[in-house]
Amino acid sequence: MNYIIHSSALIGLSYLIYRFFLSKETFYHLNRWVLLSLIILSFTLPFITVPEHLSFKSASFDEVVTTPPHSVAPNYETLEEEHVITKKAAHLSASESTTNKAAFNTSLDWQSIVLYIYILGILVFGIHFIIQLGVLLYRMIKYPTVEVDDYKIIETDKKHAPYSFWNRIFMNPSQYNPDTYLQILKHEQVHIKGKHSLDMLLVELLVMLQWFNPFAWLYRKAIDNNLEYLTDNNMLNIGEDREVYQMNLLKVSTPNMPTGLATSYNQSFLKKRILMMNSKKSTTKSGWKYLIIIPLLAITVFSFNPIQPKETIISDTKPEIDLNIQNQIQTKIQIQTKNDFTKGVWDAEVGGGKLCIMFRSAEPLKRSFWSTTRCYEPSFFANFPKGDKQKLVITREAGTLTFIGEFENGLGDGRYTFVPDMTFNKALKQYGLQADESDMVHCFFTDFDTTYLTYLKKEKLDISQDDFEDIIHKSLPLDKLKMYRKELEKLGYQSYTMEEISKLNLFNVDIPYINFINKVAGNKTSLKQITKAKIHNLSPEFINSYQKKGINSLSLSEYMKLSIHRVTPEFIDSFKEAGYSQVSVREAQNLKIHNVTPKYIQKYKNAGYKNITLKEAQNLKIHNVTPELIDSYKKLGYPNITLQEAKKLKIHNVTPELIKAYKKSGQPNISLQEVVKLKIHNVTPAQAKVASNYSKSKNKDKNKKSSSTNSMGYGSSDQQDPNDFMKGFIALGYKNISIDDMISLKIHNVTPEFIKRYHDAGYTDIPLEDVVALKIHNVTPEFINSFKKAGYKNISIDDAKALKIHNISPELASEYEKIGYKNIPLDELKSLKIHNVTPEYIQEFKKTEFGNLPLDEIVSFKIHNVTPEFVQSFRDIGFSNISADQAKGLKIHNVTPEFVQSLKEKDKNISLEQATRIKIYF
């Protein structure tokens, strides 16, 4: 119980930390991992024990009382009072140190009741969790699925907000226009790629374990909200227009939300999402808010966690107290999870030679609303009396169904009740099947009776409970079961499940259709695939339309994808007529998905892009680059803008208004590439204006902080003083800062304060490109001063860069000083480092006959790899007196002992100088 309270308190503290410190920060990705980490820490920190000298609480209440091994167990039958052992509490009175056994048990029972209530709550919310998963799985099975790349679209026919779970997107495509539909897909793809379902599963587990804790519910909302902020931010980063995106949020907004496990496109906090999208981006100055988490959690550990216990030995005359509850309370909990089908309302209509009746709950606005439709022969209602509020009673073995209402001229509605027949229920139990009242209703709908059971027994079909539920819920009549079994055997299907047959019947898959699909596939296709083809309306007429066009080599899967996206041969032909003769089926499918038509492409051709490819058109559609947008760029002075450039501008949210603002800021000839760079690195028009035109008065500058900045979507906090950044550089003497310099300064986070540190160290008038180089290589004034302290007084900026690049430190100079080389010039020190002439190398070199050479000669030996072994190889063939210059010359000109030896065979008196000249010239 203590652990539950402790972990609950930590969840509360974690939420308060996020709420008051982190919730307004725009580090959404970091916030995500902080929120998830705090959940894990909240459940693990209580297990940590703290040493007594570190704990903030007294150890007097944490000692463990143990009994020596030889202690005698007391006789509990003669004990009228339990002996309560206190820890370091001898000052308590005798009346306070004993307690009545009955009172003790009462307290223990109270704790047990609380514990069982807690467990009951976990069971309830656990079942709710499983139901949510079941609902999602049911929808995956019920509705058609469209596979696109690495995710799947579940196309429902209900009015609800789009949402995603794992790699599936649930939405009703008929609710949205193509542009909105595409944006929804992109939004949900961000959820899928970010694996946001894992967050939702973890937080649902948190709520299940801490259902009583209000902070757990607030924590779930915080995680859900942050995922939406994170997704919104990613959408804007990949080039979505801020205003268009926010307008689409308003369009799609609906209160009909999905299950708690799903990440949804819409939330009730829509206004807050828009405010967060428009808010100023957080800076690294906010880092202290994240660091504060560590001390706060540490305080809780040292204040509330158990300390390492001390053991106190108690006399063997003390009774042992067993605090374990011996008699466990066992409660059987039954949760009703199914809808009540035994009563409700009905609507009936005759059409297509069938009487179809919709049965549904009487309260459609409740969350438990349900409906199901069954079709019968019209004779089913043959005896329905004429007139209003009439009554029709139909009895089958499963029970009696009473219709009350009106049915005339093939239309009717009313209410119904169902009374199950318990005799038939017993017959089901004898067969090993369980059926509640709602199942009995479905038995009635399907006419599942003793005749059905007799057939199953006769055919030795030992159906499971799941098979039974498939039969009655998917309405598989006995005659259809017999037909499918007989015909499937003829077709060679020996192994199949009752669920597969039920789905064949549910989706009206007949035997001719099975033969047709097998013919298309060229082999015996699984019943699951055949049902899927039927669901997606893959018809013989559709396939014949392709075969008439000479497209005969497609697989069943390819045909299904074409059918799903309604890609017809006429659609492909329309592109061929537009001049695209080589259009693959895959290309046509992608064009259809993104709603790219020849008419759409023609708009670009009319705008001057005659050679636009299908791939380019598709990408332009994806990123919502319109001919009108391109024309607006042309009017700004970019008549030769390419489609690739237009797409890049859209991706980075470079609007015509933003370009106008840069032009007004003193950059009239700015190129599109430069605009994109400025936008990427967040150089605002106001900052560019200050850099290019600081000579104007401050008041004039303030007046010219125009609405062009606002039109770019910068928030009010951005506009407090966007000029400060560039003003700082101008104040340091940098009057004419180019666009490339501005971008470079932004990229490498070079600030005026960074340059001031060099001014304070005596380095003024440093070119900006050198300042950037200093920042890139992390050359600090402190680094330069460390060399000055070592005796190198006149260090230039170039020297400092070279020293840092080659990782040369004052400590290295001191290492050479230890072996006798004092005051080595910086250039020579760099040469030693570059050529890896280490103090250890020099010490070994001094042991050779050339040990007294100056440092530059030693470096030369190292550069040319003149080793003692190389010199010795010439001594071995008779040249004992070799100078340093000779040794280097031999190595430089690749004169080897073998070469000299070959010359000596012709002239025994040949010298090394002669051998070198022969090598050079011959």
Nearby residues of 350 by Cβ (< 8 Å), 6 or more positions away:
356, 378, 410, 411
The pLDDT score that the predictor gives to residue 318 is: 35
The pLDDT score that the predictor gives to residue 488 is: 94
Q: Which residues of the chain have pLDDT under 50?
A: 58-108, 254-259, 265-267, 309-337, 694-723
d(CA 887, CA 452) in angstroms, rounded, equals 106
- Pair 262, 228: CB distance under 8 Å: no
The pLDDT score that the predictor gives to residue 288 is: 82
What pairs with residue 163 in β-bridges? 170, 264
What does each C-alpha distance from 540 to 36, 512, 516 come to in angstroms? 52, 11, 7
- Pair 354, 377: CB distance under 8 Å: yes
The pLDDT score that the predictor gives to residue 149 is: 62
* Alpha helices (runs of H) in 536-597, residue ranges in sequence order: 540-547, 556-564, 569-577, 585-593
Nearby residues of 611 by Cβ (< 8 Å), 6 or more positions away:
none
d(CA 285, CA 298) in angstroms, rounded, equals 23
d(CA 79, CA 318) in angstroms, rounded, equals 12
d(CA 804, CA 312) in angstroms, rounded, equals 63
* Among the listed residues 601, 616, 680, the one whose alpha carbon sits nearest the alpha carbon of residue 647: 616
Percentages of the chain per state (helix, strand, coil), in multiples of 5: 55, 10, 35
What does each C-alpha distance from 11 to 87, 213, 304 come to in angstroms? 31, 9, 14
Nearby residues of 284 by Cβ (< 8 Å), 6 or more positions away:
none
What does each C-alpha distance from 690 to 707, 711, 743 come to in angstroms? 16, 19, 14
Residue carrying the six token digits 């542009």 = 179
Nearby residues of 889 by Cβ (< 8 Å), 6 or more positions away:
895, 916
Locate the domains of the chain by residue range.
Answer: 114-286, 338-446
- Pair 855, 822: CB distance under 8 Å: no
Beta strand 168-171 with 151-155: parallel, antiparallel or unpaired?
parallel
Would you state the structure tokens that stand for residue 604, as one six-digit string? 């670009």
DSSP states of 720-754:
S-TTHHHHHHHHTT-----HHHHHHHHHTT--HHH
- Pair 412, 384: CB distance under 8 Å: yes
- Pair 405, 346: CB distance under 8 Å: yes
Would you state the structure tokens that stand for residue 584, as one six-digit string? 């693959």
Q: How far is CA 8 from the centre of its chain?
A: 27
The pLDDT score that the predictor gives to residue 745 is: 85
**How many H-runs (helices) and E-runs (strands) does the chain carry?**
46, 15
The pLDDT score that the predictor gives to residue 252 is: 65
User: How many other CB atoms are there within 10 angstroms of residue 680's CB atom?
Assistant: 13
Q: What is the radius of gyration, based on Cα positions, of the chain? A: 42
E-only strand ranges, 831-894 = none
DSSP state of 101: H
* 152 CB burial (10 A radius; 0-12, 13-18, 19+): middle
The pLDDT score that the predictor gives to residue 366 is: 63
Tell me the backbone φ, ψ of residue 442, rounded to 5 degrees. Answer: -70, -30
d(CA 704, CA 715) in angstroms, rounded, equals 17
Residue type, 518: N
The pLDDT score that the predictor gives to residue 691 is: 55
d(CA 222, CA 273) in angstroms, rounded, equals 13
Beta strand 64-66 with 311-313: parallel, antiparallel or unpaired?
parallel
* Alpha helices (runs of H) in 437-539, residue ranges in sequence order: 437-446, 450-458, 465-473, 478-490, 498-506, 511-521, 527-535
* Among the listed residues 557, 551, 490, the one whose alpha carbon sits nearest the alpha carbon of residue 530: 557
Sign of torsion, CA 830 833 839 845?
A: negative
* Alpha helices (runs of H) in 585-684, residue ranges in sequence order: 585-593, 598-606, 614-622, 627-634, 643-651, 656-664, 672-680
d(CA 496, CA 891) in angstroms, rounded, equals 82
DSSP state of 18: I
